[in-house]
Structure 1
Amino acid sequence: MNRFVKGLRLALALVLGLPFLVFLLPIFLVYVFVERRAGRPLPFDFKALWASAFDRNEQTITPRSSPPNSDAVFRSNVVENLDRATRDDLNQGGADPENLRTNVKTIGIALVTHGGSPLGGEICRNLARLGYRVGVAWQHDREIADGIVTTIRQMGGEADALFLDLGNPDKIQNFISEAEKMFGGSPDLLVNNVAHLIPTPIQDTSWEMMSSALQINLQGPMWLALKVAVRMTENRGGGHIIHVMDLFGERPLKGYLAYSAARAGLIMATKALAGELGPKVRVNAVAPGAMITFEIKNEEKEQGKASAPPLWECIPQVQPKAVISALRYLLDAHWVTGEVLHVDGGRRMFQIGTSPFLG
């Protein structure tokens, strides 16, 4: 009886396994050949699978590797550079940024535009904690940028302030050249953190105002991304570009026609650049809800634009910590490109006319 059962099991195994051996195995081998020839990693680490199946001492399977030439400058997982306690805090989003000090090895060069803004400053400090040498770009706020640089250096990090005018292509090229000279290499990461709210109410605007809004919020950041991507590819083998957006690229803001159009354009530019530059350079965006600062409040009050909505009174703010968490995710998500990561508490889902903050 035992022989009969064993024979039945063997026959069943042959019936089930024969189609795989005859049809599926050759197809799988062709797939492996094509993927290898294209330079892409396989979905499995066969050595680790074999070890986990037959070696009792191997307890884990090696995770899927990142694509070659994509983010080649990032040393596997940037969080691995941190001590265990700090890493756990970061993963849980619970670490107090003010209590963290830079005690990690340098993993690359990061450039952050509008680094003197409240959000830009937080981004610069957090990138320094992760081990980046940070270029803090400024245009009108040199003293604030210098203060951020001083803070980073006191933490034990490396940073310098760099002038950048996104309305001038020559100034953009000078910014890149100065950064490479200052840090001794091309950037691994560009964080395009620019949002200049220029009111363009349809009843009271001008060609110059509209051109300025489009140039600063769309053409300049896109040109900078293109030029930096060239340097990343030539000298680093790859890199990562992150645009910091807001919800107004998908839900237009009343009184800010050109700004809303520019943000929508930068969302599409993010996706187009990802297709043009991949797989060596990843391009993503973070789209938080409105982050209205006291500087913006005062600027708009001084302009006296009565036709524009009082942003600081009607838009709930998104905390910088939420944006920082999204940036950390994208830094380590080596297979994510061409994506817009929304960090707005679901506010983009309001329809125009029903939203309490879109007018």
Structure 2
Amino acid sequence: MGRSCLPLTANRQTHGNLRAKRIHSLDQKLIFVNNPTLNLQDKCAIITGTSTSTGIGAAIATAYAQAGAKVVINYEPSLPAPDELLAELKSTGGQVIAVAADISDVSQHHLLIDAALNTFGVLDILVNNAGVLGAGQLFSVTEENWDHTNSVNLKGPYFLTQAAAKIMVERKTKGRIINVTSTHVYRPSKLYTVYTISKAGLDMLSRSLALELGEFGITVNSIVPGAVTTAMSGYHAQPESLARNTNLVPLGRVGVPEDLVGAALFLASNASDYVTGADIKVNGGFGL
């Protein structure tokens, strides 16, 4: 599965240097962990869409583990297990397991819930990060493309949230649901209409369920990335696309997955107790 972000392209040199930049960037972001209000000690998080070690899901999983959380990372069953990410997290003392589950298949959602409860005994945080791009314009989109994109990007998060929230309510857990949407919610693209529609639906899911789950002390919020260098964003293509996206960002660069860590830690922590139904844009001012 890909990551939820604004499609962009970058050159191979950027891809080659991404790993080192990730580590340096994440080291800077983890100053948050030293703040007790942002500590996730003894909490358990499920993070979907962590099939690669360089995406948004991987960055969030790394930050959560270093903040003390027990982490269940999810990967697409048709892809190899994220052994590199697992090894990284465990080498620094992280408590983490990886679970194969197709987010578009509701019958597989219990695999993630069961893994969290059977391994760690609790479930506090769900990050709906898995996503697919679903490229195509009106006259080229097939029903299969529409169904798959919306199943991964919208139906999957809805029903996984349903399953997780049931556990939280039963156990009186003041849980956190975090949905990773896209700047396309505010800035549509004619090249990615189905993706844009699905992410707009996910954004409204956050707000609607914030209303419904508020009485239980469960918060539901969205992180809204802009142009971020991930596998799904297609940075193996022409470098001029990278330049074009960069020119749209007032801060002068496209994002890296670690740029989302601060928002993800905040929304998962006690510091966000009074925040729900919010969209936190982490996009460098893209499109202003």
Classify the TM-score, shorter chain.
0.7 to 0.9
Mark the CA change 1:281 to 1:260 in structure 2 (over 3 Å): closer, same or farther: same
Three-state SS of the structure 2 residue aligned to 1:176 is helix
Distance 1:98 1:175 in 2: 26
Q: Offset of 1:223 from its aligned partner?
A: 1.1
5+ residue gaps, structure 1, are 1-92, 302-309, 350-359
Which of 336, 347, 353 in structure 1 is aligned with 2:275? 336
Structure 1 residues 124-133 or 279-288, which shifts more? 279-288
Query: How far is the alpha carbon of 1:278 from its aligned partner?
Result: 0.8
* 8 Å contact kept, 1:286–1:342: yes
Corresponding residue for 2:16? Answer: none
2:51 — aligned with what?
116
Equivalent residues, number: 245
Alpha-carbon distance in structure 2 between the residues aligned to 1:199 and 1:320: 21
State the Cα distance separating 1:222 from its structure 2 match: 1.3
**Distance in 1, Cα, partners of 2:87 & 2:32:** 15
How far does residue 322 in structure 1 lie from its aligned partner after superposition? 2.2
Q: 2:127 touches 2:178 (CA, 8 Å); kept in 1?
A: yes
Report the CA distance shift for 1:324/1:125 in structure 2 as closer, same or farther (over 3 A). Answer: same
TM-score, normalization by structure 2: 0.77
Residue deviations 1:287-337 (CA, integer Å, cap 9, x gap): 0112242454279x7xxxxxxxx9656433212232111122222211001
1:137 and 1:281 mapped to 2: Cα distance?
22
Runs of 4+ in 1 over 6 A off after TM superposition: 97-102
Displacement, 1:101? 10
Distance 2:191 2:74 in 1: 28
Q: Distance in 2 between matches of 1:176 and 1:268?
A: 24
Q: CA RMSD in A?
A: 2.7
d(CA) in 2 for partners of 1:231, 1:148: 27
User: Out of 39, 42, 66, which is 1:107 matched to?
Assistant: 42
Q: Find the counterpart in structure 2 of residue 142 from structure 1.
A: 80
Matched, 1:253 2:183: no
Change over 3 Å in CA distance of 1:234–1:169 after alignment to 2: same
Q: Does 1:315 align with 2:253?
A: no
State the alpha-carbon separation in 2 of the partners of residues 274 and 98 from structure 1. Answer: 28
> Contact 1:292–1:312 at 8 Å: present in 2 too?
no
For 1:1-359, what aligned pairs fall within 5 Å after superposition?
95-96=27-28, 106-117=41-52, 118-139=55-76, 140-143=78-81, 145-183=82-120, 185-279=121-215, 280-294=217-231, 296-297=233-234, 314-316=244-246, 317-330=254-267, 331=269, 332-349=271-288
Whether the 8 Å contact between 1:188 and 1:236 is mirrored in structure 2 is no
Identity of aligned residues (%): 26
Q: Hey, what's the Cα distance between the residues in 2 that align with 1:273 and 1:192?
A: 13
Is the Cα–Cα contact under 8 Å of residues 275 and 338 in structure 1 kept in the other structure?
A: yes
Residue ranges of structure 2 left out of the alignment (5+ in a row): 1-24, 247-253
Structure number with higher relative contact order (C-alpha < 8 Å, ≥ 6 residues apart): 2
Q: Which is greater in Rg?
A: 1
Matched residue type, 1:288: P
Shift of 1:346: 2.0
